[in-house]
Amino acid sequence: MGSKLQNTQLGTSPLGYALGAEIEGLDISLNLGSQIYEAINHIWQEHHVVVFRGKHLQPRDIVFFAEGFGDLDDHASTPFYRHPDVPQLLQITNRLIDGKPSETRNTGRNWHSDYSYTGRPAAASLLYCNQCPPVGGDTMFANMVRAYESLSGTMKGIVDNLHAVYDVSLTAGINERDASKTAEVRRLNPPIAHPAVRVHPRSGKRALYVSERVSHFHGMTRAESKPLIEFLCCHATQPENVYRHNWREGDLVCWDNRTVMHIALADFDQNQPRHMLRATILGEDSGFVVRDE
Ligand code: SIN
């Protein structure tokens, strides 16, 4: 099936120049079949972020749809934040939980790719908006394939040979969470090195795999690494390389963590509810644990 025909069948419209497309008119709560999943994957690989709007999904509908893309992470690396009845879903919410402010209310406040600090960094994430504030609470996405491709040949040669060390302690706001839970999350996720360029297993595209959660490059000091990490993050997140999603209730936004990094903005009134549910597709085994560096 050619790409035009697939796109026509699924009613796709681009949302941004660098990345992002909406897929219209598909009832994703149905059993879609492998051809439709193949068509979605095709669009997803081209646009990196795909958006479905106006969906009324129950937690199990999200899991059912997400399972068509691969095995789901059970979120064991951050076990405290799972949905109480559906452990395949992570709750990212500012609703009170057990009468206390939710620990996940400030999730994702620096540029990252999901679960990069684990041995199976996420392939993809699907985030459903159950409730959102009237203004703000947006999420921004950066195209890491374009970021890689627009480097000079010399810089490509440098990053091709680097391993980036991911440290869960660099997750923004982690120190404001419950100290015993944070200690457990650190114990479960020791610093881990992954190639600084990630090759997409289906498209073969090369993407920069560096974020604000990288402490240093393996074999280099933190002082040596810092300017390069800052340069690469700045380069990747230039406005021309970013799509900013303004949420509506019923949006399901799906991003490819192998080719995109993202950030959740705190640009909203925290008294207004923002309640999101995330399914995470497991990526391939990768990386090696780094100690004493
Ligand atoms: C995340 O980083 O997965 C959360 C994104 C969001 O809440 O917008």
pLDDT tens for each residue of 208-222: 999 999 999 999 999
**Residue 176 confidence (pLDDT):** 87
**Residue 6 confidence (pLDDT):** 46
Question: Within a domain: residue 154?
Answer: yes
Range of the domain at 88: 13-289
Phi, psi of 77, rounded to the nearest 5 degrees: -80, -20
Question: Within a domain: residue 69?
Answer: yes
**Residue 277 confidence (pLDDT):** 98
> The domain that contains 141 carries what CATH number?
3.60.130.10
Question: Within a domain: residue 183?
Answer: yes
Question: Within a domain: residue 244?
Answer: yes
Q: Which residues of the chain have pLDDT under 70?
A: 1-8
| Ligand 1 pocket mutation, candidates 89, 248, 262, 270, criterion most atoms within 8 A of CB | 262
Ligand 1 neighbours (beta carbon < 6 A): 92, 107-108, 114, 125, 127, 139, 262, 264, 276, 278
Count up the domains in the chain and report the number. Answer: 1
Q: Can you tell me whether residue 212 is helix, strand or coil?
A: coil
**Residue 80 confidence (pLDDT):** 86
Give the residue whose CA is nearest to atom 4 of ligand 1. 108
Question: Within a domain: residue 120?
Answer: yes
Question: Within a domain: residue 4?
Answer: no
Question: Within a domain: residue 259?
Answer: yes
Rg (alpha carbons) of the chain, rounded to whole number: 18
Q: In angstroms, how far apart are the furthest CA atoms of the chain?
A: 54
Query: How far is 185 from 190, CA to CA, in rounded Å?
Result: 9
**pLDDT tens track for 170-202:** 999 898 888 999 999 999 999 999 999 999 999
Give the residue whose CA is nearest to atom 1 of ligand 1. 108
What separation in Å is there between the alpha carbon of 5 and the centre of ligand 1?
32
| Ligand 1 pocket mutation, candidates 49, 82, 91, 125, criterion most atoms within 8 A of CB | 125
Beta bridge partners of 260: 143
Contacts of 54 (CB under 8 A, 6+ apart): 248, 250, 251
**pLDDT tens track for 93-127:** 999 988 888 989 999 999 999 999 999 999 999 99
Among 170, 173, 171, 168, smallest CA distance to 103 is for 173
**Residue 4 confidence (pLDDT):** 44
**Residue 2 confidence (pLDDT):** 41
Beta bridge partners of 32: none
* pTM: predicted TM-score of the whole model, two decimal places: 0.95
Q: From residue 246, give the alpha-carbon distance in Å to each of 51, 52, 55, 93, 138.
A: 11, 13, 16, 17, 5
Give the residue whose CA is nearest to atom 5 of ligand 1. 264
Question: Within a domain: residue 137?
Answer: yes
What separation in Å is there between the alpha carbon of 139 and the centre of ligand 1?
7
Query: How far is 143 from 49, CA to CA, in rounded Å?
Result: 9
**Residue 1 confidence (pLDDT):** 39
**Residue 8 confidence (pLDDT):** 41
- Ligand 1 atom at minimal distance to the Cα of residue 247: 8
Q: Can you tell me whether residue 56 is helix, strand or coil?
A: coil
